[in-house]
Structure 1
Amino acid sequence: MAGFRAANRYAKGLMQYALDANQTDLVYAEMNEVINVIKKSDDLRIFLNSPILDVKTKETTLAQIFASFSPTSQKFISLVVKQGRENILSKIAEQFITIYDIMNNIVTAEITSAVELDQSTIDKIVAKAKEGLDANAQVKVVNKIDASLIGGFVLKVGNTQVDSSIKTQLATLKKEFLNNDYIPKY
């Protein structure tokens, strides 16, 4: 993973800076916004990775894009650009969110299903997932759609994965049929 170590170092620095400014919750929300904006815009990703554009252009453009951000986040983004690390800005934001989640005992439950799940179903799945977690842990749900699952869902919490999808059940059944050495007795 290119840039992971650098992103982690910058994220730790941002966390310390946010703690000193007593703005961790605000910076957390802003880093989520950074991820969303970069993820949605192909042009912005190309812009951030361009070696042709100078630092001043990138700094000015990012200042305009994130003009509504707190001074803490704006100064940090400016620093990242001046250091020539704007190409890993999204990774830095992701690492910051990971650090924030660990500090606040927030666990991410990723639910992948074939169709959009209603809130009551999500709540039931999360309640089951919470049984194996610390009593004080908060669960942040990320719901993804993957039509190839056919039905059911896949739940990932930390390093644990529960796969109750039809796709996996069919694959298991197919494997059992292929491994069954049935010899007729006639």
Structure 2
Amino acid sequence: MRMMRREILGLGLSATMLPAMAQVAQGQPRLIERFAMQPETGWRFFTDNVMGGVSTGQLAFAQEDGQTHARMTGRVSTANRGGFIQMRLDLDNSPPEDSEGVRLIVRGNDQRYFVHLRTTGTVLPWQYYQVGFDVTRRWAEARLAFSAFRPASRLLRASLRPGSVTSVAVVAYGRDHDAEIDVREVGFF
């Protein structure tokens, strides 16, 4: 670490960047959201109403044990060719090319949820890469490898390039059910 510190300082990087650089160098998760600084300004909530569906829901931010988290709740309905509610964050920067996947700290109502990634190649609203994960009533880490994400359109590349990711969404999707999911951290590993 001492040699790394000298090399980093020699590159003109500030000493305040050292903890973040050390975290990356040791393969630790790279946080993009911890819901600490006005998360309501970055996260967007929407439902299948944008395409005529009838799903309903909301996104709220709550505090528990000194930590803020997002809570998405609602009723997902496949009526009218719908079937989703989602919370999405547009990224300022794509994940580093050496990233292996998405990391979440989540809990919920013992259901299956999804992460949708949009990339520079997903132009149409129904284009994204998707992978599912299950939640329990206890906070737990979910690590979702980029290699597990599948394209939702035949017009997309078979596999996504991490450096092309432009947004991350947590989604209740594809079947009639009540959704309740809390998200405390979002990042990459």
Q: Place the TM-score, normalised by the shorter chain, in its bin.
A: under 0.3
TM-score norm. by structure 2 comes to: 0.21
Computing the radius of gyration from Cα coordinates, the structure with the larger value is 1
Q: Which has the higher contact order (CA 8 A, sep 6+)?
A: 2
TM-score norm. by structure 1 comes to: 0.21
| Structure holding more helix per residue | 1
